[in-house]
Amino acid sequence: MSAIAREVVLGVGAGIAAYKSCDLLRRLQDRGYAVTVVPTPSSLNFVGAATWQALSGRPVATHVWENSHEVSHISLAQRAHFFLIAPATADLIARMSAGRADDLLTNLILAANVPIMIVPAMHPQMWNDAATVANVATLRSRGYVVMEPEIGRLTGSDSGQGRFPQVSSIIERFDQLTGNLRDLQGKRILISGGGTRESIDPVRFIGNRSSGKQATALATAAVLRGAEVTLVAANMDTSSLDTLAVHHVESAAQMHLALAKEFESCDVLIMCAAVADAKPSQSTIEKIKKAIFTTIELEPNPDILAELSRKKSQQIMIGFAAETSNLITSAQAKLKSKGLDVIYVNDVSDGAIFGKDTTSGTIITRNGEEIALKEVSKDALAHLLLDHALRQLG
Ligand code: C5P
CATH code for position 139: 3.40.50.1950
3-state secondary structure the chain: CCCCCCEEEEEECCCCCHHHHHHHHHHHHHCCCEEEEEECHHHHHCCCHHHHHHHHCCCCCCCCCCCHHHCHHHHHHHHCCEEEEEEECHHHHHHHHHCCCCCHHHHHHHHCCCCEEEEECCCHHHHHCHHHHHHHHHHHHCCCEECCCEEEECCCCCEEEEECCCHHHHHHHHHHHHCHHHCCCCCEEEEEEEECCEECCCCCEECCCCCCHHHHHHHHHHHHCCCEEEEEEECCCCCCCCCCEEEEECCHHHHHHHHHHHHCCCCEEEECCECCCEEECCCCCCCCCHHHCCCCCEEECCCHHHHHHHCCCCCEEEEEEEECCCHHHHHHHHHHHCCCCEEEEEECHHHCCCCCCEEEEEEEECCCCEEEEEEEEHHHHHHHHHHHHHHHHC
Amino acid at 364: I
Higher pLDDT, 22 or 243: 22
C-alpha distances out from residue 378 to 39, 171, 215, 242, 310, Å: 27, 21, 9, 19, 29
Protein residue with its CA nearest to atom 5 in ligand 1: 321
> Please, what is the average pLDDT of the chain?
91
Q: Which atom of ligand 1 is nearest to the CA of 302?
A: 21
Mutate to test the pocket of ligand 1, among 191, 236, 271 (most ligand atoms within 8 A of CB): 271
**Ligand 1 centroid from CA 205, angstroms:** 19
**What amino acid positions are annotated as catalytic residues?**
208
**Ligand 1 centroid from CA 165, angstroms:** 46
- Residue 214 domain-assigned (yes or no): yes
Protein residue with its CA nearest to atom 19 in ligand 1: 275
Residue range 55-79: average pLDDT? 81
**Ligand 1 centroid from CA 355, angstroms:** 18
Q: Indicate if 44 and 170 belong to the same structural domain.
A: yes
Q: Indicate if 289 and 153 belong to the same structural domain.
A: no
**Ligand 1 centroid from CA 334, angstroms:** 9
Protein residue with its CA nearest to atom 4 in ligand 1: 321
Model confidence at 253: pLDDT above 50: yes
Q: Which domain holds residue 372?
A: 188-393
Q: Is-above-0.85 flag for pTM?
A: no
Range of lowest pLDDT (91-100, 224-233, 349-358) = 349-358
Model confidence at 260: pLDDT above 80: yes
Share of the chain above pLDDT 70, in %: 96
- Residue 1 domain-assigned (yes or no): no
Residue after which a domain boundary falls, among 126, 160, 178: 178
Pocket of ligand 1 (CB under 6 A): 252, 271, 273, 275, 277, 301, 303-305, 319-321, 334
Highest mean pLDDT among 241-245, 375-379, 389-393: 389-393
Total structural domains in the chain? Answer: 2
Q: Indicate if 201 and 158 belong to the same structural domain.
A: no
**Ligand 1 centroid from CA 185, angstroms:** 28
For residue range 32-41, list pLDDT tens digits in order. 888 999 999 9
Q: Indicate if 220 and 173 belong to the same structural domain.
A: no
Q: Which atom of ligand 1 is nearest to the CA of 300?
A: 21
Q: Indicate if 222 and 167 belong to the same structural domain.
A: no
Residue 2 banded pLDDT, cuts 50, 70, 90: very low
Q: Which atom of ligand 1 is nearest to the CA of 274?
A: 12
Residue 117 banded pLDDT, cuts 50, 70, 90: very high
**Ligand 1 centroid from CA 236, angstroms:** 17
Q: Which atom of ligand 1 is nearest to the CA of 301?
A: 21
Q: Indicate if 71 and 200 belong to the same structural domain.
A: no
- Residue 2 domain-assigned (yes or no): no
Q: CA end-to-end span of the chain, whole Å?
A: 17
Q: Indicate if 341 and 371 belong to the same structural domain.
A: yes
Residue after which a domain boundary falls, among 123, 143, 178: 178
For residue range 271-289, list pLDDT tens digits in order. 999 999 999 999 999 999 9
Q: Indicate if 92 and 229 belong to the same structural domain.
A: no
Q: Indicate if 223 and 299 belong to the same structural domain.
A: yes
Model confidence at 319: pLDDT above 70: yes
Q: Indicate if 270 and 245 belong to the same structural domain.
A: yes
Q: Indicate if 325 and 387 belong to the same structural domain.
A: yes
Q: Indicate if 147 and 263 belong to the same structural domain.
A: no
Residue 303's CATH number: 3.40.50.10300
Mutate to test the pocket of ligand 1, among 231, 259, 279, 305 (most ligand atoms within 8 A of CB): 305
pLDDT for res 1:
27
Cβ burial of 126 (10 Å; 0-12, 13-18, 19+) is middle
Residue after which a domain boundary falls, among 178, 198, 226: 178
